[in-house]
Structures are given as C-alpha cells and as structure tokens.
Amino acid sequence: MRIALFFLTPIFFLGGLPGMHLGSCALAQATYTTLENVNYRPDSADAYVRERCVLDLYYPQDSAGFATVVFFHGGGLSAGDKFIPEQWREQGIAVATANYRLHPRVQNPTYIRDAAAAVAWVMEHIAEYGGDPTRIYVSGHSAGGYLTSMIGLDTTYLAAFGKHPDSLAALIPFSGHTITHFTVRQERGLEWNDVVVDRYAPIRHLRPGAPPILLITGDRERELFGRYEENAYFWRMLRLSGHEENWLYEMQGFDHGGMARPASILTLDFIRGNLD
C-alpha cells in the first residue's frame, strides 16, 4: 500500500488514502505548554548524559486522555537536536521530543538505550499531565525512525526499564533504516553499502504481536540509497511473519528530508483513526 502525494500550489493533493481530509488537522481548542529539558536519565551524574538525555514535553493543559507522540530527530546518529514538528502543534496531542547521545562521543547501542529510556519516562509520567498512557505513539525521522523501530521490536531495550513495547499504541518511523544503521556499520569499519542484518537491524526482530507499524518513506527515486526498498521489504516480511497491522506509504515527489512534512500530516490522521 502506498500514497501518491503531489505538491500542487500552496496545498497538498492526497490521493489513495481512505478517510484522509485536511479538515482533520483543524486546530484544537486548548492552551498548550512546554516543559523543557526534562532529564529522562535523572540518576546519572555523567555530564554528557545530563546534556543530551533530555526531552521537551509539549501538551494541552486542562485536557485529559490525549494521545502522545514520542519523537526522535534524525542526523545519522551523529548530529541533530530535538524539535516539535510544526504540523503537530495545537492539534490536541502531546509531543515528547527527545535528544540522545551521539556518535562519536558514544557508540552503539547507547543511542538505542537512550531512546528506550526516553520512551519509558513518557510511559511512566504522561498520565501526570493528563495524557492517556495507552495512547503513546513512537516516531522519528531517519535515524530517529531507526531508533523507533529498534525499541519497538526488540523488547530487551524497554525491558531494562520495566516496560514492554507491546503496550505502545503504534510505531511510526519516517524513512528509517530497517537493516543495521549505517553509522553502526561505520563503527565496525564497514562501508555504507555493506548491508548488515544482525541484532541491531529492526527486521531481525519481527514479532506478530508487536505494536501496529506505519512505515512512511520519501519518493523511491529521491530517497537515500535503497531506503524505500528496505522499508518495502520490511513491510512484506512483517506481513509474512504474521504481523497484521502495518502500512507502507511512499511520499511521491518528496526527498528524504522533505518527506517529514507530509508524513507528519499522515501521522495525525493515523492517530485519529483514519487509515482503515
């Protein structure tokens, strides 16, 4: 399954997506606030942990039962900083956008462990701010998409914090690796085109009972090398492994960076239940 998305004028034309309508992105009537630089690894005295293991929580005040998206930035596991996608502001949801430690200061699997710690913090605390702990979605762009899939499919990372990924509402990686990430391969002295599928590859951890998975990529002709194709293979193998709730969408006309904007709109519609 894929979506054809074309940029026409100042608006998007969306074809092939049942139930999708731009009206679903209307502004929610609520007051929003942001908690900044919350340390999700508060027990560590390490300076780099205290610098990078922080998240911002943007949420609607005086509301209850809202959904939350935990979002991880991209940057090849070696760069990037937390931010809230503009398409998700004032939409009736909360966004927890998290930093994590970066290569070369740390190496794999520290990135994945940090991501799991951030998600575990949200699972533990979101109810205190009015959020529904059963409506936590995990998403991220590029490297963030890779982290999303790893912590959602390999159960060991959240288990370290007493949590299980199957209680998450869904995983929504934007153009994420489904094989082992290229920076993780680089740490082993491998080239960018040395394909590796080991325990650090999301596709190695196919589980029928895993959370629903919405895979979104850019145009296969404009994406990073093979990124659409590895996601398409991942989608097929999920189906064959018995995982039933999964979708694959290709943002036609958008490159690796640009696809995040329409993907954010698609994510909102998914959360609102319009992808049946």
The confidence band for 2, taking pLDDT boundaries of 50, 70 and 90, is: very low
Average pLDDT over residues 18-41: 69
Query: Domain residue spans in the chain?
Result: 4-271
How much is the pLDDT for 192?
A: 86
pLDDT at res. 5? 45
Q: What is the pLDDT of residue 276?
A: 58
Given phi > 0 = left and psi -120 to 50 = alpha, else beta, which region is 24? alpha
Q: Nearest-CA neighbor of 204 among 242, 238, 164? A: 238
Instruction: Output 273 or 19, whichever has higher pLDDT.
Output: 273
Longest pairwise C-alpha distance within the chain: 52
**What is residue 95's three-state secondary structure?**
strand
Query: Using CA atoms, how far apart are residues 18 and 3, in angstroms rounded to an integer?
Result: 10
Side chain identity, residue 98: A
Please tell us whether the domain made up of 4-271 is placed in CATH 3.40.50.2020: no
Structure-token match 């399954």, residue found: 1
Provide the pLDDT confidence category of residue 274 given band limits of 50, 70 and 90: confident
d(Cα 236, Cα 247) in Å, to the nearest integer?
10
- How large is the average pLDDT for residues 129-137? 98
Query: pLDDT per residue over 168-196, tens digit each?
Result: 999 999 999 999 999 999 999 999 889 99
**Does the pLDDT at position 20 exceed 80?**
no
7 has which bridge partners? 12
The DSSP output letter for 257 is: T
pLDDT over threshold 80, residue 270: yes
Residue 6 C-beta-side C-alpha neighbours within 13 Å: 5
